[in-house]
């Protein structure tokens, strides 16, 4: 994995083959706030504004699937006031999506165990998914209370129950069956995963799905991540020679 520190201005994505599915680990909100002497929640607020900008951009340029890591199964361990601030931002975004984006083409989905959220947030999530389900534009997967390991455990339990019920035999279990029982069932695996903030970790993001994803790690904190940075990552992806284990 290479770390990109270059000035990412004026990168044109005309004439490049775009990835079908992009995943983004929105990292660096806390450091962004700290650098400015602000509370971490201010970093998340700036991160949420950037989230709006980047999802719109991805939809405009024709990305088909976008998965954004908004809240992990481990993020509950953060201080109460930080978790509360994040919940407030999620609620604001969902209300805004329901109120203002009636003519939108983006289809919203959630991946993760959303039963852990308040009833109010869960209701907004269901409403947003229901209201956007017939749209034909970009699929936006919001990873909320998502963990790649947790997802694999969930799929294993579902499959074990089918085995117990006699619906399948152990020989029927294959990679496709696992892919069909995880949150992203029916969607292509991510081609490209972008991690701003310079950390070389997967942080439990799309563990099963990212077996052959290309990673681009960028030295930019999420609130500072621009459309130009997105273009840079897309160009970097287009230059990669994907062999999927072959030659
Ligand atoms: C990681 O940065 C970021 C998060 C745990 C939260 C991501 C959430 C947002 C960007 C808000 C999304 C909002 C909506 C509406 C979906 P960090 O806090 O770990 O940063 P640090 O590593 O610099 O401390």
Please report, for the domain that includes residue 86, its CATH number. 3.40.1180.10
With respect to residue 66, please indicate whether it lies within any of the assigned structural domains.
Answer: yes
Residue 104 covered by a domain: yes
CA of 44 to the centre of ligand 1 (A): 5
Q: Is residue 161 part of a domain?
A: no
Nearest CA to ligand 1 atom 7: 70
Please identify, by atom number, the ligand 1 atom nearest to the C-alpha of residue 93.
Answer: 15
Model confidence at 6, pLDDT cuts 50, 70, 90, reads: low
Q: To 5 degrees, how large is the angle CA 131–CA 180–CA 164? A: 115
The answer to whether position 14 is within a domain reads no
Q: Could you tell me if residue 173 is inside a domain? A: no
Q: What is the pTM of this model?
A: 0.94
**Contact by Cβ (8 Å): 73, 113:** yes
Q: State percent of the chain over pLDDT 90.
A: 88
Per-residue pLDDT at 9 = 55
User: What value does the mean pLDDT take over residues 86-111?
Assistant: 93
Mean pLDDT score, 57-84: 97
Q: How many domains, the chain?
A: 1
Residue 230 has pLDDT above 70, yes or no: yes
Domain containing residue 93: 21-147+189-239
Q: Is 247 part of a structural domain of the chain?
A: no
The answer to whether the CB of 29 falls within 8 A of the CB of 75 is no
**Is residue 90 within 8 Å of 116, Cβ to Cβ?**
no
pLDDT at 3: 55
**pLDDT computed for residue 1 by the predictor:** 53
The per-residue DSSP string of the chain comes to --EE-S---S---TTSPPPSEEEEE---HHHHHHHTT--HHHHHHHHHHHHHHHHHHHHHHT-SEEEEEEEETTGGGS-HHHHHHHHHHHHHHHHHHHHH-TT--PEEEEES-GGGS-HHHHHHHHHHHHHHTT--S-EEEEEEEE-HHHHHHHHHHHHHHHHHTTSS-GGG--HHHHHHTSTTTTSPPPSEEEEETS----TTSSTTTTTTPEEEEESS-GGG--HHHHHHHHHHHHH----TT--
pLDDT of residue 247: 74
CB atoms within 10 A of CB 224: 16
Q: Is residue 40 part of a domain?
A: yes
How far away, in angstroms, is 115 Cα from ligand 1 center? 20
Q: Does 26 map to a domain?
A: yes
Nearest CA to ligand 1 atom 10: 47
Nearest CA to ligand 1 atom 24: 30
Phi, psi dihedrals of residue 180, rounded to the nearest 5°: -75, -10
Pocket of ligand 1 (CB under 6 A): 26-31, 44, 47-48, 51, 70, 75, 89-90, 93, 142, 222
């Amino acid at each position: 994995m290479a770390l990109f520190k270059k000035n990412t201005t004026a990168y044109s994505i005309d004439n490049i083959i775009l990835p079908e599915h992009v995943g983004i680990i929105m990292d660096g909100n806390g450091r962004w706030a700290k650098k400015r002497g602000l509370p971490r929640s201010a970093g998340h607020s700036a991160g949420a504004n950037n989230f709006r900008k980047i999802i719109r951009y991805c939809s405009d340029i024709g990305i088909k699937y976008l998965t954004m890591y908004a809240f992990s199964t481990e993020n509950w361990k953060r201080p109460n006031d930080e978790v509360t601030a994040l919940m407030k931002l999620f609620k604001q975004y969902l209300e805004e999506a329901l109120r203002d984006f009636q003519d939108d083409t983006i289809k919203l989905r959630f991946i993760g165990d959303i039963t852990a959220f308040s009833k109010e947030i869960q209701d907004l999530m269901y409403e947003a998914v229901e209201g956007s389900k017939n749209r034909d534009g970009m699929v936006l997967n919001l990873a909320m209370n998502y963990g790649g390991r947790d997802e694999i455990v969930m799929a294993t339990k579902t499959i074990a129950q089918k085995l117990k019920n006699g619906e399948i035999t152990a020989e029927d279990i294959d990679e496709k069956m696992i892919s069909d029982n995880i949150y992203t069932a029916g969607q292509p695996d991510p081609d490209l995963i972008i991690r701003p903030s310079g950390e070389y970790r997967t942080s439990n993001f799309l563990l099963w799905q990212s077996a052959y994803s290309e990673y681009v790690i960028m030295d930019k904190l999420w609130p500072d991540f621009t459309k130009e940075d997105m273009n840079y990552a897309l160009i970097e992806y287009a230059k990669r020679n994907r062999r999927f284990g072959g030659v």
